[in-house]
Structure 1
Amino acid sequence: MKATLKFLTLAIVMVSAFGCAEEESVEAKKAELEELKAQVIELNGNIRALESELIELDPEFAKQNQKSVLITTADASKGNFEHFVEVTGSVLSKKNVSISAESSGRILEIPAIEGMRVRRGQVLAKIDSESIQRNIEEVENSLSLAMTLFEKQERLWKQEIGTEVQYLEAKNRKEGLERNLASLKTQLDKAFVRAPFDGTVETVQVRLGELVQPGAPMFQFVGDSDLFIEADISESYVGVLGKGDSVRVNFPSIGQEIKTKVSSVGAIINPNNRTFKVEVFLPSIANVKPNMLAVMKIKDYENTEAVIVPSKLVLSDNRGDYVFIVAEGKAKKVYIKRGKTFQQNAEILEGLSGDEKLVDKGFREVGDNFNVNIAQQ
């Protein structure tokens, strides 16, 4: 037993000693690593300082020491530059009306439903007209008798029998009843609410069995023709946009684009959002419906001889806008005067002639007079 205890004690002492030795070895390595890093930093600093001195003393060394940057190029071009105001509008109809009742009575039928497309004259609802129908029957009976009496009186008058007064009274009675009958039939026709033109029933505002009075709204109805597009334009474009300006209209829901013109420009600024209304003529196009979303591009500027460059290549500093062009194997920094920008193109008013090669990929890695190597595209 004593021998066993002595062995265990010895083993514990050896393990502890080994652990301490290993810990001291790790700390030593860490210290050595930090020392080497400090030496690298010092060497890099010395190298940069020495290079700076050599560049000042020997220009040829500067040229040889400067690395080339791998780039691609893009051509500046000269041509027609167009700027558009891009806004979102809605397709509306000038035939957006509320259809009201023209006679009083209880609603007997409502054939129309919301979203239903109907033709002109198609019945949308029927109002109870029983009393009018009875009046028509009574007037028709009276008219039949008055017609018979008038015909007899007319024959007698032609035979110079009877007085002229009797003849005129019979004629007046007949004509009066004819006018009453025509009036009653007009009232009967008003009991049928009809579509005033081809279009779509937007909303049905009455229910079956409901009592209506003349002038009570029954349907909201939108016509298929006389469509136009309306949009709100920022007041900053007042005086820039005018009637007759060219417009490109895109309908995202049907993937169709057309070219048309501004038909009307509003004269009042909305104080709530500082915009004014613009209406655009919309020709007859299949599948275009009222309230459809339309994206409009209204041309407000054009330069037929503009220098055009990709807008992403235009950079700025404290002095102004600039681009990098490629000349004699180097990147040259050229300051420019930028005009308008639309989508991915920028108009250049000064600084470029239009035949330069611009630094494209790699334009953020180059500087003025950097050596460049053009990659094959």
Structure 2
Amino acid sequence: MKTILRFLPITLALVMSFACAEDESVEAKKAKLEELKAQVVELNGNIRTLEAELMKLDPEFAKQNQKSVLITTADTHKERFEHFVEVTGSVLSKKNVSISSETAGQVLEIPAMEGMRVKKGEVLARIDAEVIQRNIDEVENSLSLANTLFEKQKRLWEQEIGTEVQYLEAKNRKEGLERSLASLKTQLDKSIVKAPFDGTVETVTVRLGELVQPGSPMFQFVGESDLFIEADISEAYVGVLGKGDSVRVSFPSIGKEIETRVSAIGAIINPNNRTFKVEVYLPQMDLVKPNMLAILDIKDYENPEAVVVPSKLVLSDNRGDYVFVVRDGKAIKTYVQRGKTFQQLTEILEGLSGDEKLVDKGFREVGDNFNVTIAQQ
């Protein structure tokens, strides 16, 4: 125990000595690090200053010292390019008619309602025809008597009894009553308003108990066959669009799309909006109804061997349109002649052959002759 206590002060002294030496070593290293960092900052500043001076004095040095821009590329190729005029149209029916009363009388019944779909011959309304029915009864009684008299007079005439005038008068009276009866029955039929064809009752303009006259409007009726699409086209396309041109039609409300054609082109320009009418043939389709919205893509241009590039890659300056072509690790500014554009694709008429690689991602960060590095895609 005494031996341990005798060496304790010596041990403490050695520990304290090593601790001081370690502290001095750490502080020295920190100081050395700060000194080196300051030197790096100073050297970098000197390098940047010298590079800037050289880039002003030597353009070739400036090109060689440009930083490489990381990009992706897009291939150009030849393909069929089609341009379409996109317009909004509406489904209409050639059987859009106004149904009016053909006889006078009070409206007794209106089975039809707005929006109702009916078949040809279904009753839409009934008009009071009591007076007509009474006239029919009277004429039928008179015709019965006239037939009897005519038959008797005919037999007498065949027996050469009586005069020819008596026979002709009896015949004329009978035939006149027959014509009157047919006319009254026709009027009776017209007191029942029927659907002229399969379709939909758009509007009902008559009310129960209302007194109508011949020609009074009663219903707006739209047939479900003979549908077509009508759209307004800018006058800029006069002479460009023609009858028979291809049309893609989509119906957003039902999610359907069809291929059809232009069936008619209007002959006049609307002075209010400077457009002309275009009619597009519409085949029979389920769920397509009159007044439904339709989106029309009418093809007005086609190039089977066009160089096509994404529209976003075509830039412009005071000289014209250009793209950046990747060649030998550099982005080369290449001027082109732009054609038509449709759905984010642009036709290139001149400047590209169709086998180039264009700067895609990063095209706004590069300039002419910039060094580029192509990223792995």
| Match in the other structure for 1:263 | 263
Change in CA separation of 1:371 and 1:166 when aligned onto 2, cut-off 3 Å: same
**Paired residue secondary structure (2:133):** helix
In structure 2, give the amino acid aligned to 1:218.
M
| Distance in 1 of aligned mates of 2:320 and 2:43 | 39
Counterpart of 1:284, as a letter, is: Q
Cα deviation 1:80-123 (Å, max 9, x = unaligned): 11111111011111211111111111000001100111112221
Q: Distance in 2 between matches of 1:175 and 1:122?
A: 33
- Separation (CA, whole Å) in 2 of partners of 1:148 and 1:274: 73
Secondary structure of the equivalent of 2:132?
helix
Query: Equivalent residues in 2 for 1:351-366 (5 A)?
Result: 351-366=351-366
Q: State how 1:33-112 maps to structure 2 within 5 Å.
A: 47-55=47-55, 65-112=65-112
Cα distance in 2 between the residues matched to 1:138 and 1:267: 57
Identity within the alignment, % = 83
**TM, length-normalised to structure 2:** 0.84
Q: Which moved more, 1:241-250 or 1:366-375?
A: 366-375
Relative to structure 1, is the Cα distance of residues 171 and 299 closer, same or farther in structure 2, using a 3 angstrom cutoff? same
Matches within 5 A, 1:171-210: 171-210=171-210
Alpha-carbon distance between aligned partners in 2 of 1:76 and 1:158, rounded to the nearest angstrom: 102
The offset of 1:151, in angstroms, is: 2.3
How many angstroms does 1:45 deviate by? 6.7
On the 8 A contact 2:331/2:367 being kept in 1, the answer is: yes
**Deviates most, 229-238 or 43-52:** 43-52
Q: How does 1:181-260 map to 2 (within 5 A)?
A: 181-260=181-260
What residue in structure 2 maps to residue 31 of structure 1? none
Distance change in 2, residues 1:47/1:172 (3 Å):
same
Distance in 2 between the 1:135 and 1:124 partners? 25
Is the contact between residue 232 and residue 275 of structure 2 (CA under 8 Å) also seen in structure 1?
A: yes
Q: How many angstroms apart in 1 are the aligned matches of 2:328 and 2:369? A: 10
Partners of 1:253 and 1:43 in 2: how far apart?
69
1:60 & 1:190 partners in 2: Cα distance? Answer: 97
Closer/same/farther in 2, CA of residues 64 and 194 from structure 1, 3 Å limit: same
Specify the SS of the correspondent of 2:137.
helix
Who is 2:332 aligned against?
A: 332
**Structure 2 vs 1, CA of residues 162 and 45 (structure 1 numbering), >3 Å: closer, same or farther?**
farther
Are residues 1:374 and 2:374 paired? yes
Task: Report 1:12-51 matches (<5 A).
Answer: 47-51=47-51
* CA distance in 2: counterparts of 1:256 and 1:324, whole angstroms: 40
Aligned to 2:164: 164
The aligned residue for residue 144 of structure 1 is 144
Unaligned runs of 5+ in 2: 1-39
Aligned partners of 2:334, 2:42: CA distance in 1, in Å? 38
Cα drift, residue 150 of structure 1: 2.0
Q: Rate the CA distance shift 1:83–1:43 in 2: closer, same or farther, 3 A.
A: farther
Which residue of the partner structure matches residue 14 of structure 1?
Answer: none
Where structure 1 has 5 or more consecutive residues not aligned to the other structure, the ranges are 1-39
Q: What is the number of residues matched between the two proteins?
A: 339
1:74 partner SS:
strand
Q: Which residue type is aligned with residue 293 of structure 2? A: L
Q: 1:42 to 1:150 in 2, by over 3 A?
A: farther
